[in-house]
Amino acid sequence: MSKLLSTISVGIFATLVLFACRTHVAPPEAVLPVPTEAQLRWHEMEMNAFIHFTTNTFTDREWGLGNEKPEIFNPTQLNADQWATVLRDAGFKGIILTCKHHDGFCLWPSAHTEHDVQSSPYKGGNGDVVREVADACRRHGLKFGVYLSPWDRNHPAYGTPEYIQYYREQLRELFTNYGDIFEMWFDGANGGDGYYGGKHEIRRIDGRTYYDWPTTLDLVRSLQPDVLFFSDAGPSIRWCGNEQGIGGETNWNTITPDTLYPGKPGIGDLLNTGSPDGTHWIPAEVNTSIRPGWFYHASEDSLVKTPEKLFEIYLTSIGRGSTLLLNVPPDPRGLIHERDVAVLKEWRALLDKTFNINLATNAKATADHYRGRSDLYAPDKVTDGDKDTYWATDDNQTQGQIDIELGERKTVSYVVLQEYIRLGQRVKRFSVSVRKGDEWIRVAEGTTIGYKRILQLDPVETNAIRVSIEEAKACPTLSNVEVY
């Protein structure tokens, strides 16, 4: 009897030791660089809206010269709650507003210029569009971001150090008086002809040196340390290299910024793909407009992108591991036009219908191997709906595959993959296969995954999906697989 008892207790002890070992396998070491907490939150936002609105909305131009009279700015029905609710209902998580575009007109009452909303008839000179939009964002659960054009075709001192002081004071106003700002957008278009206080001339600046960005960014960070800076070259978010809504099919969040500066010609391709050995985490943002122009033009009412086109852009931006920044410009009434509202609704419905039932939720998943055979990194972590758990392989393994059982045969059209980017971006090449009888048939392949990759398949009937990681910078991780 006592022998039996001791055998049982040795057995229990051994099971406990084994269990402890399995659950205490160390996570993979991070592959540097990795995103900051603020960048991670930004990746998770996935889609934000851009709002281009200023005197151009009233002059029917794309780039104002800087000599526009503030008197023309009078949106008599401006309703920032309409902007925020339409955009929130479409799924956007934040709004970035052109507080000042290249023409220099300021949508807020700035203490440093008279070329602003205070000099306009809007609300009898007591209006503040920046405040209205920032407040509406907060009321409707959206984050607020600002665009402040570095190029100013109105300002008399543009091109001299005095203008840089002016620009910094304006940033100080925006970052002090309007609550939290999640993203600051620095436009690369710079220098050229303009009004410049009546001089009507061409002013060229050296994009590398004129703005002395490091000092400006330090000032902004001293006011709001968590803000993310967008420009061609980052430092927090980079341009994707085009305005057509097309993120890189190969899309590294990493890039080496040494030789980059905002507005540098010929860097589109590099910005589009990033580089696998990049020294900094500077993810690409895909910015495009729902209309041909960035500002509202009545002549473009019939040219608003279709819901199907927006769906395609969703796949080439968010579906390629980028964040989408879609511009929706209000009209001269100060409202998002009925046509854009209708398109956004239909687009949302299309997205909801397509990504409605995830066939992989809690599905049984097996892998050819997983890290230390620890439950912490088991393959079912990709179907548990928890973004903080992930499948990983052992350190010396840069390949691996996961099979997901769907139960019955289903028609599959989309597969969504996500890496656990907190530990760095790793995957260089992967494929997706479906099971047909005893065979696995390859239906999609790609290079990078990153925060998210959405693969559109020719609809196929199957009862299991295989995700194969074929090449990676280090042991791969996957936090999520969805099947639709």
Cβ neighbors of 160 (< 8 A, separation 6 or more) are none
422 DSSP assignment: G
Beta carbon of residue 332, minimum distance to ligand FUL (angstroms, whole number) = 18
Beta carbon of residue 98, minimum distance to ligand FUL (angstroms, whole number) = 7
Beta carbon of residue 415, minimum distance to ligand FUL (angstroms, whole number) = 32
Looking at the Cβ atoms of 189 and 349, the one nearer to ligand FUL is 189
Among 135-143, 163-171, 182-190, 200-208, the segment contacting ligand FUL (CB under 6 A): 182-190
Structure tokens given for 78: 């401006």
CA gap 195, 117 in Å, rounded: 19
CA gap 325, 329 in Å, rounded: 12
Among 24-32, 117-125, 185-193, 448-456, the segment contacting ligand FUL (CB under 6 A): 185-193
Beta carbon of residue 159, minimum distance to ligand FUL (angstroms, whole number) = 18
Among 184-192, 395-403, 424-432, 446-454, the segment contacting ligand FUL (CB under 6 A): 184-192
CA gap 173, 154 in Å, rounded: 19
* H runs (alpha helix) in 211-365: 213-223, 268-273, 307-316, 338-354
Which residue, chain included where needed, has tokens 């659950």?
A: 23
Binding mask of the shown chain, residues 49 to 78, with x at each position contacting ligand FUL by CB under 6 A: -------------x----------------
Beta carbon of residue 236, minimum distance to ligand FUL (angstroms, whole number) = 17
CA gap 206, 211 in Å, rounded: 8
440 binding ligand FUL? (CB under 6 A): no
Beta carbon of residue 189, minimum distance to ligand FUL (angstroms, whole number) = 4
Beta carbon of residue 174, minimum distance to ligand FUL (angstroms, whole number) = 17
CA gap 129, 107 in Å, rounded: 5
Max Cα separation, the chain? 104
CA gap 196, 24 in Å, rounded: 65
Options 18, 189, 349, 441; binder of ligand FUL; rule CB under 6 A: 189
CA gap 32, 11 in Å, rounded: 42
Looking at the Cβ atoms of 150 and 332, the one nearer to ligand FUL is 150
192 binding ligand FUL? (CB under 6 A): no
Beta carbon of residue 243, minimum distance to ligand FUL (angstroms, whole number) = 7
Structure tokens given for 155: 């300002």
Beta carbon of residue 375, minimum distance to ligand FUL (angstroms, whole number) = 47
CA gap 130, 99 in Å, rounded: 7
187 binding ligand FUL? (CB under 6 A): yes
Beta carbon of residue 62, minimum distance to ligand FUL (angstroms, whole number) = 6
Q: Which class for 91: exposed (0-12), middle (13-18), buried (19 or more C-beta within 10 A)?
A: middle
Among 77-85, 173-181, 186-194, 374-382, the segment contacting ligand FUL (CB under 6 A): 186-194
- Give the residue closest to ligand FUL by C-beta: 189
Beta carbon of residue 287, minimum distance to ligand FUL (angstroms, whole number) = 6
What residues from 277 to 296 belong to the interface with ligand FUL (CB under 6 A)? Answer: 287, 294
Among 181-189, 296-304, 337-345, 436-444, the segment contacting ligand FUL (CB under 6 A): 181-189
Binding mask of the shown chain, residues 194 to 213, with x at each position contacting ligand FUL by CB under 6 A: --------------------
Strands 237-239 and 284-289: parallel
Among 134-142, 183-191, 274-282, 343-351, the segment contacting ligand FUL (CB under 6 A): 183-191
Amino acid letter, residue 34: V
159 DSSP assignment: T
Strands 400-418 and 480-483: antiparallel
CA gap 129, 122 in Å, rounded: 9
HEC assignment per residue over 191-220: CEEECHHHCCEEECCCCCCCCCHHHHHHHH
102 DSSP assignment: T
CA gap 402, 360 in Å, rounded: 12
152 binding ligand FUL? (CB under 6 A): no
CA gap 314, 286 in Å, rounded: 10
Looking at the Cβ atoms of 142 and 240, the one nearer to ligand FUL is 240
Give residues in contact with ligand FUL (CB under 6 A).
62, 187-189, 287, 294
